[in-house]
Amino acid sequence: MHLIIGLGNIGDRYQLTRHNVGFLVIDEITKNLTTSNINKTNFQADVFKSGYNLFAKPKTYMNHSGDSIVCIKEYYKIDINNIIVIHDDLDLPFGTVKFKIGGGHGGHNGLRSIDSHIGKDYIRVRIGIGKPENKADVANYVLSNFSKEELNKLEGIISHTIKAIESLKNEDIVEVKSKFTLK
């Protein structure tokens, strides 16, 4: 069983923000699947099951994503190697898609929370959102909406990311990196 998690913040206010790119991928990937909703209060997440896959959008807000993920992981006894986390990455130019296992959190509070709850050795799907010119504007930047131009490009980026996630379930990460990395 794979647990595929999109990181983001709940609420209409955050729906199209850069920090919610993980939620946008989960919404798109589950749109055409036959899913069943799993309603367990302690999960603190929207969880959908389709076949042998679980898709999750934590409701804990970004900074506490690990609280949700650890509950789902432990309940279903999911090996860390079968956890895929989709998240925004300030250190990558907009539209870049990269993959890795483990590593640091790079100041990303959602990853910091996950790392503290389940360790670092899960698969990461990093989607570049670019960064503001002034480092002091990071919080406002990640919580701001994508521009119209970015939204137009995002559809293709999300579609590409979904294909990569499907491959991650069956292929070695090295193969997926060589086939699906976007720069």
CB 160 within 8 A of CB 97: yes
Give 83's strand partners: 3
Q: How far is CA 8 from CA 20, 34, 42, 134, in A?
A: 4, 23, 18, 23
CB 3 within 8 A of CB 71: no
User: Which H, E and C letters describe 18-54, residue by residue?
Assistant: HHHHHHHHHHHHHHCCCCEEECCHHHCEEEEEECCEE
Q: Which of 19, 87, 117, 160 is catalytic?
A: 19
Task: Give the integer Cα–Cα distance in Å for 72 and 38.
Answer: 10
Radius of gyration in angstroms for the set of CA atoms belonging to the chain, rounded to a whole number: 15
19 is catalytic: yes
What are the catalytic residues?
Answer: 19
